[in-house]
Amino acid sequence: TVDTPITVPSPSLPPLILTQDELKKVAAYKAVEFVKSGMVLGLGTGSTAKHAVDKIGQLLRQGDLKDIVGIPTSKMTHEQALSLGIPLSDLDSHPVLDLAIDGADEVDPYMNLVKGRGGSLLREKMIEGCCKKFVVVVDESKLVKHLGGSGLAMPVEIVPFCWKFTAQRLQLLFNEVGCVAKLRTCSENGQPFVTDNGNYIIDLYFEKDLGDLNAASDAILRNPGVVEHGMFLGMATTVIIAGGRGVTVKNK
Ligand code: ABF
């Protein structure tokens, strides 16, 4: 991979016009500054986290990082990390991680997240829930006032068995905030999207603000057909946001 250096402007200078992917790279590279030799690392999924994984691979190759163990949050990241020569392990062998770096779909002012539009929310939540430090990397387009308020999907991973029943239950649960539940399908063939764990994803779309997020989380998880949802509440310890005027690092 070619490592394109990116200059970030200071607040006193006029904003630099970076593409969204360049902003993602800025945030990801900033997060990699937290990585030290000897760490057990959660390796995130998605186009932002991909830059961080590439950079970790590059630092290992150069000898600037040593003795890293990576735990990938998806099959895709597993493949990427393998191709970069990053030594890999899993939660069975390493139940406590030093640090994870991953992207998000939405970040609210309290550092709560929506994740899973890429489909990897379950492994992400299992792994990122075991980290001493969880660094979220986003471009500024991911910032929202309320989770689920952007009109975009709130993903819920469910078992395929009687998925219509579970989808209806989820939709009814949020009737008061105008919820529509849709099965995620593959654009190529219209077949259900299947996660790395062999499950389906129901995307919930809300008309109104969800209100109490912890109550919403509990209500979703009370459905036996639900495996996990994409709200990551109180999990992020740091959020790195790249925007046209520079990088902001928010700590818990
Ligand atoms: C993963 O990648 C997800 O949880 C989230 O759905 C997505 C963000 O993707 P990107 O960085 O490509 O915007 O971290």
* β-sheet with 200-206: strand ranges across: 179-183, 200-206, 154-158, 226-229
> From ligand 1's centre to the CA of 12, what distance in Å?
31
Give the closest residue to 248 by CA, choosing from 22, 30, 5, 39. 30
Cβ(100)–Cβ(45) under 8 Å?
Answer: no
pLDDT-derived band at 4, boundaries 50, 70, 90:
very low
- Closest atom of ligand 1 to 103 CA is 14
pLDDT-derived band at 174, boundaries 50, 70, 90:
very high
> pLDDT digits over 106-157, tens only?
999 999 999 999 999 999 999 999 999 999 999 999 999 999 887 899 999 9
Q: Rounded to two decimals, what is the model's pTM?
A: 0.93
Candidate from 22, 101, 117, 235 with most ligand 1 atoms within 8 A of CB, to mutate: 117
The neighbour count for residue 237, using CB atoms within 10 Å, is: 18
Cβ(117)–Cβ(155) under 8 Å?
Answer: yes
> pLDDT digits over 21-69, tens only?
999 999 999 999 999 999 999 999 999 999 999 999 999 999 999 999 9
In the chain, % of residues over pLDDT 90: 88
Give the closest residue to 136 by CA, choosing from 110, 109, 111. 111
> From ligand 1's centre to the CA of 138, what distance in Å?
9
Give SS3 for 202. Answer: strand
Q: Is 45 in the pocket of ligand 1 (CB under 6 A)?
A: yes
> From ligand 1's centre to the CA of 47, what distance in Å?
7
pLDDT-derived band at 5, boundaries 50, 70, 90:
very low
Q: Is 102 in the pocket of ligand 1 (CB under 6 A)?
A: yes
Cβ(117)–Cβ(218) under 8 Å?
Answer: no
Q: Is 229 in the pocket of ligand 1 (CB under 6 A)?
A: no
Catalytic residues: 124
Q: 107 has which bridge partners?
A: 113, 143
Q: Is 74 in the pocket of ligand 1 (CB under 6 A)?
A: no
This model of the complex carries an ipTM of: 0.97
- Closest atom of ligand 1 to 117 CA is 6
pLDDT, mean of residues 10-23:
75
